[in-house]
Copies of this chain bind each other. A is one copy, B any other.
Amino acid sequence: MGRIVGKPNSSSSGSGLRGKDLISFKDLSKGQVISILNESESMLRALTRRAKLEYLENRIMATAFFEPSTRTRLSFESAMQRLGGGVIGFSDVNTTSSVKGESLADTIRVVASYADIIVLRHPKAGAALEAAEYSDVPVINAGDGSAEHPTQALYDLFTIKMQKRRLSGMSVAIVGDLKNARTVHSFAYAVAMFKNNIKFIAPEQLQASGEMVEDLEDNYGIEIEKSDSLDEAKEADVIYIPRMQKERFLDPEEYKRFANYYTINKKFLSKANDDIIVMSPLPRLGELPVEIDNLKSSVYFKQVAYGVPVRMAVLKLILGG
């Protein structure tokens, strides 16, 4: 499938997403992101009033999950069915022809002949781009290796829009395991696109890469600070804190040392900006204690719920329902 190459110019009608792959958040223009967020808001309204939607009534989505991810899979499957569409798929690579030596290209070509769109999850970075080359139908990247997961970045932005009623000119603190959590990368680019300043708060060993920081500064003209003190996040408008990625630590002692390095607890929030919102890609561990679950600042369960309307919007815009 022709993935999104270059940015559609202003005269192109609509979002320019119809029939396109969605491989990386960076492939999207600001205009396209805004289109998706607006469509997401319509979808959310439709969900709220329990409207019966039939936009994708004759369409089938395949979830091709070469590694398991129940959350992402269920959210996409819910989104597709909310739009009236059908779902097929696999989530256990051991039951596919891959075990008989079939290439990714061939598996994708076969699945593309059964469905109208493929949602791909794969352990290898670059797999989604490769799949898109061989698929006759659009491919949505639902996470490939440590690289990209664009619909997650989109519903992160949607969360900010819905909770803050704006998208720009804010201070965003990204806290914790910035080295290993793959969502950090997409999230940082998403908020940079909308001209928000970023504070990367992490212990030295887990800080955001110099390359990324430089790229963000150079290409988006935003202010970036680094710190290892959670106090720096107090004045932020948004805190984003992924869990420590236990499985990526080679040394269990090091994991233990950092497991509860930062905790967004009641005490911290009592000193923080009154309008602060706390986001997480979930699952959460000790960094977000249950004592804050019912505070108005704690929007992480709303955030995960927004995954459905945002994925509905993406499916609708790509399939042109």
A91 and B95 contact, CB distance less than 8 A: yes
Asked whether, in the complex, the Cβ of A78 is within 8 Å of the Cβ of B95, the reply is no
* B114 adjacent to A78 (CB under 8 Å): yes
Complex contacts, A101 vs chain B, CB 8 Å: 246, 283, 285
Q: Contacts A51-B58, A58-B51, A282-B97 given: A304-B78 contact, CB under 8 Å?
A: no
Q: Does A308 contact B (CB under 8 A)?
A: yes
Q: What are the residues of chain B within 8 A of A30 when measuring CB–CB?
A: none
Residue pair B71, A113 in contact (C-beta under 8 Å): no
Q: Are B74 and A90 in contact (CB under 8 A)?
A: yes
Contact of A174 with B by CB under 8 A: no
User: A267 within 8 Å of B by Cβ?
Assistant: no
B-binding segment of A12-20, A35-43, A102-110, A182-190: A102-110
Give the most central of A70, A91, A301, A308: most B CB within 10 Å.
A70
Interface string of A62-87 (1 = CB under 8 A from B): 10000011110011011001100011
Tell me the bound Cα distance from A315 to B52 in angstroms: 18
Decide: A283 near B102, CB < 8 A? Known: A51-B58, A78-B60, A113-B304: yes
Q: Which of A277-315 contact B (CB under 8 A)?
A: 282-285, 290, 301, 304-305, 307-308
- By the criterion CB–CB under 8 Å, are B90 and A70 in contact? yes
The answer, among B52, B81, B115, for a CB contact under 8 Å with A88, is B81
User: In the complex, what's the smallest C-beta–C-beta distance from A57 to chain B, in angstroms?
Assistant: 6
Please state if B91 and A70 are interface contacts (CB–CB under 8 Å).
no
Q: Which of B53, B87, B100, B283 contacts A100 (CB 8 A)?
A: B283
- Beyond A81-B86, A283-B97, A284-B106, whether A113 also contacts B52 by CB under 8 A is no
Residue A178 is within 8 A (CB to CB) of chain B in the complex: no
A89 touches B (CB below 8 Å):
yes
* Given known A58-B52, A86-B81, A88-B81, contact A71–B110 (CB-CB < 8 A): yes
* A96 contacts B by Cβ under 8 Å: yes
Give me the 5 closest cross-chain CB pairs, A-B, nearest first: A68-B95, A113-B305, A81-B86, A102-B283, A78-B114
Residues of A within 8 A of B (CB): 50-53, 57-58, 60, 62, 68-71, 74-75, 77-78, 81-82, 86-92, 94-97, 100-102, 105-106, 109-111, 113-115, 243, 246-247, 282-285, 290, 301, 304-305, 307-308
